[in-house]
Amino acid sequence: MTTPTPSRTARIAAASALALSIGGGLLACTPDPVAKAPDVRVQNAATAQAKAVVGPLRAAEPTRLVIPSAKVDASPVLRLGVDSAQELEVPPVDQAERAGWYTGSVTPGEKGASVLVAHYDTANGPALMRNVKNMKVGDVIEVGRADGSTAVFRIRETQQVEKKDFPTHKVYGKTDRPELRLITCGGPIVDGHRSANIIFYADLVKAE
């Protein structure tokens, strides 16, 4: 007997329920207008979903983030939840060179969308994702895991959107494959905040 797949309505309902519990994008990016990185924009682009050749993996929390094209190699990975306003947390300013994993999502490599968060800049200047403009479709994102394995993802889509237009369902919605979402901030500073979010959608292509 085959197991029925969730209907599109059910998937949207699940994503909508999640949207009610968290605010979606990163609202806490508040660089000082004097000490900051240059305004950044990433070109929106996409390719076909990578063929599923590995996974899903067993649950194991992320411990390290490596992105060769952006010269990122950061550990440990922080555990993030939601704040008192039910907005997605970001790494503290004094830990701006680290990435964070949203604990309400699956661990990287499990079936579903795992969500990682990192700063582009803070009041102290450029942060972990300072080279985000160099990232593009086809690049690799490697996530070290607590069980000693490494989940290797390939970027399928890059998207920069105004925070008011954050695609909550697309980012947090249910998937039937191991996928990764990496979120940072971009765009110009408006009223003390970066005005946009930059999102990378990636597929699991290897486990080492």
Average confidence (pLDDT) per 10 residues, the chain, 208 residues: 34 39 55 69 91 88 98 97 83 94 96 96 92 97 98 97 92 94 92 90 96
C-alpha torsion sign, points 39, 201, 47, 57: positive
Q: Which fold has domain 8-207?
A: Sortase; Chain: A; (2.40.260)
Q: Note the pLDDT of residue 160.
A: 96
Distance in angstroms (rounded) separating the CA atoms of residues 94 and 68: 23
Q: Note the pLDDT of residue 45.
A: 95
Distance in angstroms (rounded) separating the CA atoms of residues 77 and 167: 24
Identify residue 147 by its one-letter amino acid code. D
Q: Note the pLDDT of residue 86.
A: 76
Q: Note the pLDDT of residue 29.
A: 65
Domain spans of the chain?
A: 8-207
Q: Note the pLDDT of residue 88.
A: 87
